[in-house]
Amino acid sequence: MQYITGTPLVLLKQTIGTAIATCPSGRSVLGGGFTATVPSGSSAIPAYMQAFDSVNSGSTIWSVSAANAAQGGGNRSLTLTAYAICAIVQ
């Protein structure tokens, strides 16, 4: 088994995006998940991230779609990172 961290995706306030994690060649995705973190300079809180889809997208990709529901002035961006659990499946 192998755990893969996808490329972090910064979502500005009131935006929607999809983060992905891709298994290496020869491995299939068994499951996955995500984290929401606050980037430097942001005054948001992770609870503003509203994930509405966290699923496999084919046999090698875990994708997570979410909305940053933060409101108000200033920088309220959040970072969405997808994770995949990968393994050789026979």
Tens digits of per-residue pLDDT, 51-83? 999 999 999 999 999 999 999 999 999 999 999
Query: Could you give the percent of the chain with pLDDT greater than 70?
Result: 100
Say how many domains are in the chain.
1
Nearest CA among 48, 64, 47 for reference residue 56 = 64
What does the DSSP assignment read for 9-62? EEE-TTEEEEEEEEPPTT-EEEEEEEEEEPPTT----GGGEEEEEEEE-SSSEE
pLDDT averaged over the chain?
Answer: 96
- What pLDDT is recorded for position 90? 83
Residue 25: give the domain boundaries. Answer: 2-87
The pTM of the full predicted model, rounded to 2 decimals, is 0.94
